[in-house]
Structure formats: C-alpha cells, structure tokens
Amino acid sequence: MDNLTHTLFALTLTRTRLGRGGRGTTAALVLASNAPDIDIVATLGGTANYLAWHRGPTHGPLGIVGLGVVTAALIWCGGKIIRRQAEGKAQSGDRASFTTLLAVSIVGVLLHILMDLPTSYGTRLLSPFSWRWYAIDLLPIIDIYLLTALASGLVLGRRSAEAGRKWAAIVFVLMAVDYGGRAIAHHEALNLTERLVRRWQPPACDAQARSVALVDAWPRAMGRTRSCLVETAAIPSFLSPFQWRLIAQFPDAYQIYEIDLRDRSLRLDSNAIMPDSPLWDLLARPVALLPNRWTPIVFEAAKTRTAQTFLGFSRFALAQDSRNASGVATVRFTDLRFNAGFEEDSLPQTRRSSFFTVTVQIGPDHQIIHERFGE
C-alpha cells in the first residue's frame, strides 16, 4: 500500500480511542504507520538493493516491536524538548505516557503490515526468519477507492470531534465493504478460472496448486513434469474491482486471461458448450500464451546479482532470450503481475525503465556485458 493511504488511515485512527491517549498519540500513529517503509533508504545502494530489502525485516516481527519502540521514544523525547521550550505552558498531564505511546506505535506498525498483505505486491511477514513473500491479491498497490473513502472522511469530519468520530466509523464501514467486495470478486475470479479452463489445463503439479489458498506464498518449487499446472492466480486491476488478470503457470509456459466479472458469457456452463460453438474459442483461448523456457543462457543470466534479487521477489517470472548477429545474448525477466498489458498472443508490454523487468546481456565469451532493471 502507498504511503498516502497509510497516512490517511493513521489520521482516521486518531479520531478513535487510539487518538485520545494524550499529547503525542496522533504523531505516534502517523509516524508508526509509515515507519516500516524506512527501508526506502536501501535505494541509496541502487534498485536491486532496494528490492532485496523492501518489505523485509521492517515488515516482520522484529520490525513491529523495534519500530514501535523507536517511534515511541522519538515522540516521547520530542515532547520533552517541546515542553522545555514552552517553559511549562503545556501541562504534563496532557501528555501521553511512554507506555501509551509504545502501544499506539506498535498498533500503527502492525496495521501498516496488515494493509500491505492484501495487495498483489505482497509482503515478507516473517522476515528476517523467513524471506518468503505472502499476499492475498485483493487490492492493487494503490486502491483509489480506499484513498477516496479515507480522504473524504477526514474532510467531512473536520467540523467537530463528534463529526470526526462519526465519519471515522463510516469510513471503517466503507473499508470493510471495499475489502469484502474485493474478496468476493477475487474468489469468483479464481472459481471462473478453474471452471472455464479446466478442460484445457493438465493436472495440477501438487495438491497446493489445486487448492484456492487464503494467503498465497512464494517462491515455490516448480513441478517436475512439463505438463502440469503449477499455480493459478487472479491479480486485481488498478481501476475496476471487476477486472482481473488470471495467470495460469506451467513449468514451461504461462497462460494469461483478462476478464471482467460483469461479462455474462463467463457465467455460461462450459460443459454445455459444444466444440463447434463460437464461445468455445472465446472461453478456451487465453489473451496470451507465453513460453517460459529456461535455456542454458537463461540460467547463466539468472546467476547475476540483479537477476537473483529480482527472481527472489517475482512471483510469476517470465524468461525470454534472444541473440543478435554478433553473438550477444539478451535475457529479459518480467514479473507478469505488473505489466502494462498484452496484445493478443504477444509478449508483455513493458516500459523501458520498468521496475518489474530485468535485462541481462551476455557476450559470446559468456562475460556479462550489463545487467539492469528495465529494457
């Protein structure tokens, strides 16, 4: 989730009992709700370094406690300095105790992490004890509906404390509707995926691939055979809660479907559709069928630091390789969750500076010419 959403949510929380613990609680909630993203300092070491550390230890158990303590200490010390400068004008009884600030700060950090979990980007909940990613795939990285509800509630509730509390309650209801509606849509999208394409998919590689999990986790082991289904996922779109990108992963390929749950043709029983029906091709054919063959040169490119970092983050990494007339090989790794889109049966469209694509060039002598994010 973006930091604007985290900040607006923290300000909404200040209108509940969490914000009535004394002076400093508002600042503690806002600071703690953004504290896990302090890992942005890793960008000083480059994009690969940032990707390696983003949503890592600051988003895990140690981060919840550690950042909670640091936040509470900063607000407590800042309050003492301000009180000295005010020469006693502020009553000490108005200030929140350190224990209250610590509790509020821990809650703020925890809620930040819990808001990151339902996004398609995911988070590393158990870092540094485990570097696996977890996600529920309910929301895009930025949810414009959540942002609108939070901003509107703050504006409409600014007239008085009572109005603030009332609108905070309304916002929480709207958030529950947003999350609940997206959860229903996500479940429906996954069910439609299984129902519409089950005739054309090979057996699942394992029991986990057949089940619809509440929380998805990766990296995961690939199937040993070339003709099994590794995983199916439904990725939310930015604008509409009804539009989803369906990804079916196989050991050597991906199938991509772009669906709108309002499309009535998706409700038809695929068992009742005859092979000569026009709907047969409509339901059977993905928007894109992308080979994902790991050739020796792809494995070689995957050993570079940039590629290793990216592959540790990417849930659906598509590998593509080509070689020019001079023998220089270009290998591109792309995370299929975040591409701009697909033209029918084509490769994913990416921006030259895309954060979710890595390009590695290898010379004829197997020396790495360059490795970078983007095209």
The per-residue pLDDT for 117 is 96
**Residues, the chain:** 375
Confidence band of 309 (pLDDT split at 50, 70, 90): very high
pLDDT in tens, 100-126: 999 999 999 999 999 999 999 999 999
Confidence band of 343 (pLDDT split at 50, 70, 90): low
- DSSP letters for 26-82: HHHHHHHHHGGGGGGGGGGG-HHHHHHHTTSGGGSHHHHHHHHHHHHHHHHHHHHHH
DSSP state of 375: -
Please name the residues in contact with 219: beta carbons below 8 A apart, sequence gap of 6 or more: 132, 133, 311, 312
Contact 185, 241 (CB under 8 A): yes
E strand or H helix at 278, and its extent? helix 278-284
Q: The pTM is what?
A: 0.86
Nearest to 32, CA basis, from 11, 46, 52? 11
- DSSP letters for 252-302: TEEEEEEEETT-GGGGS-GGG--TTSHHHHHHH--SEEEE----HHHHHHH
Give me the amino acid identity at 28. Answer: A
* Strand 216-218, strand 231-236: pairing: unpaired
Mean pLDDT, range 300-324, rounded to an integer? 93
Please name the residues in contact with 80: beta carbons below 8 A apart, sequence gap of 6 or more: none
Contact 230, 222 (CB under 8 A): yes
